[in-house]
Chain A
Amino acid sequence: MRATTFPLAVTAYTATSALGLGLDAHLDALCQQRSGLRANDFSDAPLPCWIGRVQGLEDAPLPTTYTEWECRNNRLAWLGLNQDDFLAKVHRARDRYGAARLALLLGTSTASIAATEEGYRRLEGERLPADLHRKVIHTPHSLTAFVTTALAIGGPCLTISTACSSSAKVFASAERLIRLGVVDAAIVGGVDSLCASTLFGFNSLELVSPEPCRPFDASRRGISIGEAAGFALLERIEAHPDAPLRFLGCGESSDAHHMSTPDPEGIGAELALRNMFEHAGIDVSQVDYINLHGTASQKNDAMEAALVARLFPNNTRVSSTKGLTGHTLGAAGILEAAISLLALREGFVPGNASTVQPDPLCTTHFAWHNETRPMRVALSHSFGFGGNNACLAFARKDMSA
């Protein structure tokens, strides 16, 4: 049976990444096409690669009330929550609806695993060292449990951890909770931070580029890993009829192909898109811009370029922004949702940065440089490890059907 999504008002959103803290820093970097990638200086024996590191996290401890939660990932979460007046907007929503009528859904691929890694580097006998002997930071729910406490959320609180689609899928879960009346509003988002598990893990799969990543370049050599935090507040449109930006719907699917490489035919990715169109009640002709998954891995980019060529009319513009931010894994969904919302707000298409020689598979849909144009509908693609796919659709209010 067809289930049309409730369009929802996006009443607040924010992003923190290697591009900077908050939306203005992101808009500025996108407009300048200024990359946040730098030579890997994370850890004592860093891999020779490039990373998207958030500046200053080492000097930004959590407030003492939250000492129990102290770790890099939760620091990044807290830094992210403190941008763009986001905390104040959440407090207003909590006052309006009550804590129990607010849900919190966050995506992460590795949560605070970096703290567990550090514990194993500094074992005291066969125990984690005393300063890290804190159960709450050694579980995959660490991020959401911390943010639940920091925001005093009383409704459903869930971590979604489906690798690189994690913080896209939170939009789908939030929409369903609101549609069924379980809650009145939801905070969605995601945080992933640099850690040895993903740097050396993706390296073991030979997916890490020795140079800054170049999505959709003919001679791309793999991904550059980044870190990011992002959040959005979703509410019913009736509560905010004038909110300028809307979430139209999410599509979800599985590849049923391979644990660590996408289906080259893109069948699962196309199913996620079709599922999104069904939920959002729009079609390909209405899509002005797609922020692609575009990781700069050989297989993702080949699959995704073919997908764009196969499905979308020539007037749809597409680009990956991972050449600027790096691949922020479980936070990529929310970071690129925020970039798509900025593109809608400002009426501009961010260019596909860092490409020297486009892959011949890329069609005229690709925006290699920034473009100015009126925008009504923007999509964001997230295709994760394990063949887990999600596509998001956002629109300006003046477009929404």
Chain B
Amino acid sequence: MNALNIQVEGIGLWSPQLANFDSLRRLLAGEAYMAPRARPEASALSPNERRRAPESVLIAIEAASQAVAMSGLAVASLACVFASAYGDLATTDYMCRVLAYAPTELSPTRFHNSVHNAAAGYWTIAGDCRASSSAVCAGDASFGAGLLEAAVLACADHRPVLLVSSDTAGIGPLGELIECTQAFGCALVISPNIDTGKRLRLATTTSAPRHLPLPAECTARMRDNPSAACLPLLAMLAKGEGECVLAASEQLGLQLQMEVAA
């Protein structure tokens, strides 16, 4: 394939350990950083929506808001792609329990929160965004597949795109099986590369995923949450250089290179 060249205009991040991209930068540099509050702020949502929204939506919105703020772009016209390997595992656990014993007592709010595009729905409503929005997954490769989808949209239609990838901890019998034990959300605002300067080059590859060594705190996150597969890329962005291969499907890799355009 022809490589896709993009620029990263904004970066967002939230996990119970890391409040934002700056915290990750400090972690990578071996500096001290503040742990976030127990619940993501997600201040883009109205108080009403914040009450109704599940944790999965709050994390996605928090990461998205950080990335968009860094980019300086307006939400209203920004296309978005929301990736999540598992959707909202706690809501799925609730749904399946109620459906097993008292199906007619299902909560309509919990039902509408259960759709895979719940975060995309809350985000577009909160930001008055009428641009294209999508919700995708690709198993453990959900971040890489979402990045490819977002980069292809940016390059094909010549527009900036918000990518959000987030997953939350599983609970109950489903949680026991799925083994996603920590919440993690990240977001990137990307645009097609037209300027000179630092850019990210994407190309599909049959090579297996690989990246430079990361701190133990990062590799632990990558084991306990599929959306943390973004960390090798975020580490490259923090450093301003590097190369890695992320999984874009079980068979396909996505090679990412930071380079300076002539």
Q: Report A's interface with B, CB cutoff 8 A.
A: 1, 3, 45, 47, 99-100, 109, 113, 116-117, 119-121, 123, 126-128, 133, 135, 138-141, 144-145, 148, 153-163, 169, 172-173, 176-177, 179-183, 196-197, 200-205, 252-260, 267-268, 271, 275, 384-388
Contacts and interface: CB of A to CB of B under 8 A. Distances in A.
A197 B108 contact: no
A162 B118 CA distance: 9
Interface string B200-229: 000010100000000000000000000000
Interface string B120-133: 11101101111111
Contact of B139 (A116, A117, A127, A145): A145
A259 B132 CA distance: 15
A155 B116 contact: no
A387 B250 CA distance: 31
Nearest to B133: A254
Nearest to B153: A176
Contact of A173 (B100, B130, B152): B152
B112 to A, nearest CB: 5
Nearest to A201: B111
B135 A158 contact: no
Which of A121, A138, A154: most chain B CB closer than 10 A?
A: A138
Contacts of A123: 100, 173
Contacts of B2: 180-181
Contact of B116 (A154, A162, A201): A162
B174 A256 contact: no
A139 B89 CA distance: 9
| B-side interface size class | 35 or more
B86 A140 contact: yes
Nearest to B4: A180
Contacts of A203: 104, 106
A128 B139 contact: no
30 contacts: A3-B156, A3-B157, A116-B92, A116-B174, A117-B95, A117-B96, A117-B99, A123-B173, A135-B177, A138-B178, A139-B85, A139-B86, A141-B139, A145-B139, A154-B206, A154-B251, A154-B252, A157-B251, A161-B135, A162-B117, A180-B4, A180-B156, A181-B1, A196-B103, A197-B95, A201-B106, A204-B104, A205-B111, A254-B133, A255-B130
Given A154-B252, A180-B4, A182-B152, A160 B130 contact: no
A256 B96 contact: no
Given A158-B249, A205-B112, A256-B129, 16 more contacts: A1-B157, A113-B96, A117-B100, A154-B251, A157-B138, A157-B250, A158-B136, A158-B137, A161-B117, A161-B135, A162-B134, A176-B157, A182-B152, A204-B107, A256-B127, A386-B112
What are the 3 A-B residue pairs with the smallest beta carbon separation, nearest first? A386-B121, A161-B116, A252-B132
A234 to B, nearest CB: 15
A165 to B, nearest CB: 9
A144 B204 CA distance: 19
Contacts of B135: 160-162, 388
